[in-house]
Structure 1
């Protein structure tokens, strides 16, 4: 099974719709998948094969999501990289992961040039945009030339899909190897057991047969924890972190829309919630604190929010209580770690009021 099929299954179930908003325009799910297919073929043409490691060093943007699924469909391993890392840290990850290719943009050119000197395996660098320096490739050019017809590379359940570097231990960051089955069971399990079963709705799963395997595609569209066609998720978490990757992948199953910010900005977040009627918000305690303390918070209408989730650090009790008092919405806390595919336990909305300070 290959989790790159999340994108194809989303189109089969829901048809074409506005899927991702970023930087002034909507991108449909069909458009996003088409670009992922073209980039995947371009990677194959460069010699990227099953099991090769491909880094993505970008802030949140459509090309980042397209790159993720292009890499999955090519059977390669995604290595998401924090673009703010310094040259020694980048060089370490490039070398330790054994990157064969890297997708980034011109903002980080100088750091990439310096860091790749320590990574002899890094042969191909693709720069988002219309142009690229000598010896590198333009994202727009390679996707323009590539075919959108693709044969998804079949991967085994235990093949590595994502390698996320985490500094949760002493010494250098470690590359956590997460399989296709890790991500598949994680996302579909959350969808089935948390989003659907919480509200007493049985997930009507169907088995979609694929060459070399099968995958489950839940088809229920009931009113469950926001799982309907009115679901709009505000994506502010960085997608080089597992928490952000999980939140985005969930929308492929839910058939929801994503409003994506390149990076966290309190005013942009408030404006986006109001303008696009965001219903889902996943954040960290600092984000909730900054929202509550912003002097202009009362100028924005955040009443569309229905689900607020917090992870990555403990939520101060006074913040959770203040949020509940102001908006009438509980903040549901959870806990996870990169080594276990990011989300492992938490309070579940709809079953009972949360116990603030508890992770479930």
Structure 2
């Protein structure tokens, strides 16, 4: 990397501009750490702990069952449709140990969304919760799934919660089964019937895929981002070097970010395991649970999304809790308001910094310094071994300092490409540079700021929502003539989804009807929260809806007090 990159002047003394990254399987992280800290808690899940020795034992068992009992081959895809729980860790590392490719799958997906991802990835196996097994079995005939592995949260709950859990589910109208038929396999049986024989598939880290992480596109069509072992290893180590003040074998990570998203996967799961940390696994973000977890286990590192910090700041009993154990917080997924940063730092006494990344970069490319110079309102400076520049969106030529252009990045964490989409890959990967689609500026000290995000994309509560996908669902409703979806400011979620609707002349539809329709076809975070019915929508001369005009009208209404 050239020393002419001006941001290097703001690197802490402890951080080098370049590092070596091992050519190995990502699962080697677990193997090495289990040797260094066998008795250290790798994870704690509602008072049940799992040591590194126990985690590796279970991961070996999972891998050996796949290879010996399922004829699982290197390169086969394993979909993991789990929240943050011990089974997610075991499945992730077990699949990698067996040479498989992990396909992280959002448990909130509808049947249509799940069917698309399974078919596109050609996943052979899927591991999920008993709560979701019947949904998966309904889509299985339309996919290449050979086996569905099911597990239950109660398997790793302490007494008496493991006894009360089925009763609670039954009270909510959910009846859990011990057997879901011949196409399924209990997760617990895989571990009991297998052996903890040491096994790790030797990979070519630069070429072999570790992860297919699905994301939306500007067209609304989800794409599988191909992340190699080297991609994940390098971004994990970049994150470790950036937080140089963290102590190996001592840190406790509050794992509230879902690890089925690449942000949580890298800055929580991979990073914690590499450094011998303890993961406090939270399956669902609930402020009361988070605060009690902080009180009991004293986490030191808390990566999150702005909505998480906002929820805690405004919790009615926040002043009754001691948050002083928290030293490091890295905020991503959405812009971090300065007021939130200042308030949360005042509550904890720790540091809360904003970073930037995208799925195609494993995901982190930029971050503010944790203990050295930072600039509020910026995404900070590029990570070690990461180059970045701002270019003209049309010509690709670098723009002057302070000018707005498209942010492009290059580094070892940049994806191999989009799964089975060479043309889409060629559009965003050029000579090793990833064209992010985000408009940005760089100041004279090398600090970058995002001016605008990818066209039309909405980030609601840390989740990416692509308007085209929502619009297509709305258009499928028989009463909808026209639909346009935009993001509007929301005090808690950052942005929320708003739909503008024109109803067919001979039909009727109200907000409740469209809400029910969308909830049957979309994950909950994609469903519009606000509807506005209109007679017409503003359009260009060729008939394309002018979303910019809708945004401007909304802004004008707000400034007028409407």
Same-fold status (TM-score > 0.5) = yes
- Alpha-carbon distance, 1:143 to partner: 1.2
Are 2:298 and 1:250 aligned?
A: no
Is contact 1:274–1:304 with CA below 8 Å preserved after alignment? no
Bigger Cα displacement from structure 2, 132-141 vs 291-300? 132-141
CA–CA distance in structure 1, aligned partners of residues 90 and 148 of structure 2: 16
Shift of 1:253: 2.1
1:38-57 deviation line (CA, Å, top 9, x unaligned):
01111112011000111011
For 1:156 and 1:132, the matched residues in 2 are separated by 39
Partner of 1:78: 102
CA 1:329–1:117: 2 relative to 1, 3 Å: same
Check whether the contact 2:30–2:273 (CA below 8 A) recurs between aligned residues: yes
TM-score under structure 1 normalisation? Answer: 0.88
Say whether 1:283 aligns with 2:283. Answer: no
**2:216 is matched with which residue?**
167
- Partner residue in 2 for 1:204: none
The match for 1:320 among 315, 329, 341 is: 341
Q: Could you tell which deviates more after superposition, 123-132 or 300-309?
A: 123-132
Q: CA deviation at 1:350?
A: 1.8
1:296 aligns with 2:344: no
Question: Which one has a bigger Cα radius of gyration?
Answer: 2
Residues 320, 168 of structure 1: alpha-carbon distance in 2 compared, 3 angstrom cutoff: farther
Cα RMSD after superposing both structures: 1.4
Deviation of the 1:128 alpha carbon: 1.1
2: CA distance, partners of 1:230 / 1:180: 26
How many residue pairs get aligned? The number is 329
Residue matched to 2:32? 9
- 8 Å Cα contact 2:324/2:350 also seen in 1: no
- TM-score under structure 2 length normalisation: 0.57
Give the Cα–Cα distance (whole angstroms) in 1 for the partners of residues 318 and 191 of structure 2: 42
Q: Whose helix fraction is larger, Structure 1's or Structure 2's?
A: 1
Q: 1:87 matched to which residue of 2?
A: 111
1:240: how far off? 0.9
Matched residue, 1:26 = 49
Question: Which of the pair has the greater relative contact order for Cα pairs under 8 Å at 6+ separation?
Answer: 1
Give CA-to-partner distance per residue, 1:210-229, whole Å, 9 cap, x none. Answer: xxxxxxxxxxxxxx2x2243
CA distance in 2, matches of 1:345, 1:33: 32
1:198-243 superposed Cα distances (whole Å, 9 cap, x missing partner): xxxxxxxxxxxxxxxxxxxxxxxxxx2x224331110011111001
Note the C-alpha offset of 1:254.
1.6
Trace 1:128-147 onto structure 2 (pairs within 5 A): 128-129=151-152, 131-135=178-182, 136-147=184-195
How far has the Cα of 1:172 moved from its partner? 1.7
Q: What CA distance in whole angstroms lies between the structure 1 residues aligned with 2:78 and 2:233?
A: 20
Divergent runs of 4+, >4 A: none
* Pairwise CA distance, 1:168: 4.2
